[in-house]
Amino acid sequence: MSFKTIGVIVKPHTELVRDKLEHLLGFLKNKDCEILLDNSVDGLLDVDSHFVTRDELGNRCDIVIALGGDGTMLNAARSLADKDVPLIGINIGRLGFLADISPNQIDTVLDDILSGKHIKEKRFLLEANVVRNEEVIFSADALNDVVIHVRDVARMIEFETRINGQFVNHQRADGLIVSTPTGSTAYALSSGGPILQSDLDAITLVPICPHTLSSRPLVVDSSAEVNILISETKQAIAQLTCDGQTSFNVDIGDHIIIKRKQHRITLLHPQGHNNFDILRAKLRWSE
């Protein structure tokens, strides 16, 4: 077998997760490998097991399996991107753009992947820093998107956007989505953004309900640095959210600096994997 130490991460506890986890662990125990369970598994199994931190999982494992939906994959990818450990997703969620193996394929498709019959795919992440008075006060990564949006009430925010130091525009809107190709099928898609090929080195900037009909999504090279200044306004206050899972309140005068993260995450897919097949199935094209 190609992988000797395998880590397991799960989504928040449900009975469905418990059943699939027991199946997965039964399958892995028949392999000649060491199994490390993430702290997310703690309390889900009625057995005494040793659980490890996410850092230890990344440092010791040859591969990590995420059992859940795309949210579980996003969480796992952000925490493992610096560790250079490949990630596999078993989908028990709804959409499954990232977690592309169904639970009933564990004994067949997962067996092939663990035996070395797989496709490797690199995905880049974004890193966002909030700068206040020339000091970084918050940092976070995102595999899907970094979103600046209205925090509390249904009123617009105002912000100024610069790319590589060059002024782009000043907008009044509900917010702005800065998305990777991975995230182009998530919030950016529902806000009217384009679908990007998953291996494209590009970033999209998609305004959320802009107060002008001329404001349209913008696609830039992934090497670009995006700088968003929260403008002084009597409108609503803003919040920064990464992958819909990590949030931070931003104030007038704050700069949100977004750029491509140096380390990429490696996803392992079954042989014959095709992202366009997933798009057709999940977005119900041609129905």
Q: Output the DSSP codes for 229-259.
A: EEPP-SS--EEEEETTTEEEEE-TT-EEEEE
Looking at residue 264, what is its pLDDT? 96
- Tell me the CB-side half-sphere exposure of residue 190, using CA atoms within 13 A: 4
137's CB contacts (< 8 A; 6+ apart) are 130, 131
The pLDDT assigned to 281 comes to 85
> Cα 84 from chain centroid?
16
Catalytic pick among 38, 70, 243, 254: 70
**How many residues in total does the chain contain?**
287
Q: Active site includes 70?
A: yes
Q: Which residues on adjacent β-strands are paired with residue 142?
A: 126
Listing DSSP states for 90-130 in one string gives: EE-SS--SS--B-GGGIIIIIHHHHTT-EEEEEEEEEEEEE
What topology does CATH give the domain 5-116?
Rossmann fold (3.40.50)
Backbone angles phi, psi at 11, to 5 degrees: -75, 170
Please tell me the predicted confidence (pLDDT) of residue 153.
72
Half-sphere exposure of 186 (CA within 13 A, CB side): 25
**Domain at 125-262: CATH code:** 2.60.200.30
- Map out the domains of the chain as residue ranges: 5-116, 125-262
pLDDT at 190: 94
Residue-wise pLDDT tens for the chain (287 aa)? 578 899 999 987 677 788 899 899 999 999 888 999 998 888 787 766 678 999 999 999 999 999 999 999 999 999 999 999 999 999 987 767 898 898 888 999 999 999 899 999 999 999 999 999 999 999 999 999 999 999 877 788 999 999 999 999 999 999 999 999 999 999 999 999 999 999 999 999 999 999 988 999 999 999 999 999 999 876 668 999 999 999 999 999 999 999 999 999 999 999 988 889 889 988 888 77
